[in-house]
Structure 1
């Protein structure tokens, strides 16, 4: 029998949290996602610009469907507090993050028209539709578990890259991206997502249900891996 995969510490997720349990349950896939060659090249600053540009365009398309998923979370919410959280997230995505994304892409020579006109890559289609399907066919906990690898995974990646490459970050062309996800504002988003999973779990989780949530989390994590693969293999 092979030894269990040891994951690096992630202080935002206490060991007893649902997120930490899911992360450990898919440890091998989680490392393949958070330590993917795309991520490593971002940290070193060696990622080809064309790969990053293609990723940025697809990430914008992803955010559109991410907002739709949060709209579904509002519909399926258990409480008014959960509804307000979902509504605030939708507003932030549509009115703040997507506008910031447009401005960020402009630095890389990508216009808003480029973003709007770009076709979705197959990896993007597969990932976004899977998250929506889990929301439609399951409940709000299924949906939030499907969303968690993206929300929290980027916080872990940003935090790790910022720590690992601190000395060379000033010369890294992807410094702004790393600092955005390592920054306290985004770390707080991830922290809130972890707490929200625990609040939902307190109302809806049974141990009999846990294996199904693991499979949802695993599939979403593998689709994140495919998203990085897309960034390396295709060109914008």
Structure 2
């Protein structure tokens, strides 16, 4: 999609939200992520144990950087009301439900402790961690939001396409459940809402910088799913 400044795009957009400008500016990559064959295979429970193990081992390597990014969001948010949801999500989901899932799922898939703590990093894994760390060290709240929003919104995108009945294998079913449902939808809505609140007030250069981080994250999500399929 060719670059169109936010104000120009908003004048004719059906949905003028800043987060929607970011998303639509990342087509066709965004749709390629949320409809990716690997993600679709998860929703059907068709990913082999070996492929799921490799994918989850690499995804687990984001836990520390993602947790630190959430902490940076708490530190850089512009109000108490904005800080609270990050702290709640950090305590209730990122460090409990999801981490517990990784340990149970990878154990069931035959991963060793070394697989989880010292695996060779795929290039895309290293690049994604570097982007998270770049956003974190910037302490620039909109940039942090951009990376977090892509990570969560894109996963809601593919998980929301899962059809009932969900796979019987908990490795697939619970991975879907972690990224779908009322609580996770509210979390994504909050992230988008923060971008929608702050984005229109940024300078054009600031908006384009947020878009740069958002687009880089989308492209990394696509590369990550491609890696999982061996592309």
TM over 0.5: yes
Q: CA deviation at 1:40?
A: 2.7
Q: CA deviation at 1:47?
A: 2.4
Contact 1:102/1:111 (<8 A) preserved: no
| Ranges in structure 1 where 5+ consecutive residues have no aligned partner | 3-13
Query: Within 2, Cα distance between the matches of 1:183 and 1:85?
Result: 17
Query: Within 1, Cα distance between the matches of 2:117 and 2:20?
Result: 36
Q: CA deviation at 1:198?
A: 2.3
Pairing 1:113-192 to 2, within 5 Å after superposition: 114-137=115-138, 139-160=140-161, 162=162, 165-166=163-164, 169-170=166-167, 174-192=172-190
Q: Cα gap change, 1:170/1:49 in structure 2, threshold over 3 Å: closer, same or farther?
A: closer
Please name the residue that 2:226 is paired with.
Answer: 229
Q: CA deviation at 1:184?
A: 2.2
Please name the residue that 2:42 is paired with.
Answer: 42
Q: In terms of mean alpha carbon deviation, does 205-214 or 23-32 score higher? A: 205-214
Query: Within 2, Cα distance between the matches of 1:99 and 1:174?
Result: 14
Q: Cα gap change, 1:195/1:117 in structure 2, threshold over 3 Å: closer, same or farther?
A: same
Please name the residue that 2:10 is paired with.
Answer: none
1:64-102: per-residue Cα shift (whole Å, max 9, x none)?
A: 110011122222222222333333333232244212322
Contact 2:149/2:191 (<8 A) preserved: yes
Query: Within 2, Cα distance between the matches of 1:125 and 1:174?
Result: 25
Q: Cα gap change, 1:171/1:84 in structure 2, threshold over 3 Å: closer, same or farther?
A: closer
Query: Within 2, Cα distance between the matches of 1:91 and 1:113?
Result: 26
Please name the residue that 2:6 is paired with.
Answer: none
Contact 2:142/2:195 (<8 A) preserved: yes
Contact 1:102/1:112 (<8 A) preserved: no
| 1:155 counterpart SS class | helix
| 2:229 counterpart SS class | helix
Please name the residue that 1:17 is paired with.
Answer: 17
Please name the residue that 2:56 is paired with.
Answer: 56
Q: CA deviation at 1:132?
A: 1.8
Q: CA deviation at 1:107?
A: 3.1
Query: Within 2, Cα distance between the matches of 1:200 and 1:96?
Result: 30
Deviant stretches of 4+, over 4 Å: 170-173
1:143-186: per-residue Cα shift (whole Å, max 9, x none)?
A: 111221111111111102x2xx436x456772332233232222
Please name the residue that 1:97 is paired with.
Answer: 98
TM-score normalised by the chain length of structure 1: 0.79
| 1:181 counterpart SS class | coil
Q: CA deviation at 1:225?
A: 0.9
Q: Tell me the matched-pair count.
A: 218
| Ranges in structure 2 where 5+ consecutive residues have no aligned partner | 3-13
Q: Answer yes or no: is 1:205 the counterpart of 2:205.
A: no
Please name the residue that 1:78 is paired with.
Answer: 78
Q: Cα gap change, 1:229/1:196 in structure 2, threshold over 3 Å: closer, same or farther?
A: same
Provide the alpha-carbon RMSD of the alignment: 2.7
1:111-137: per-residue Cα shift (whole Å, max 9, x none)?
A: 556422334322111002112213323
Q: CA deviation at 1:199?
A: 3.1
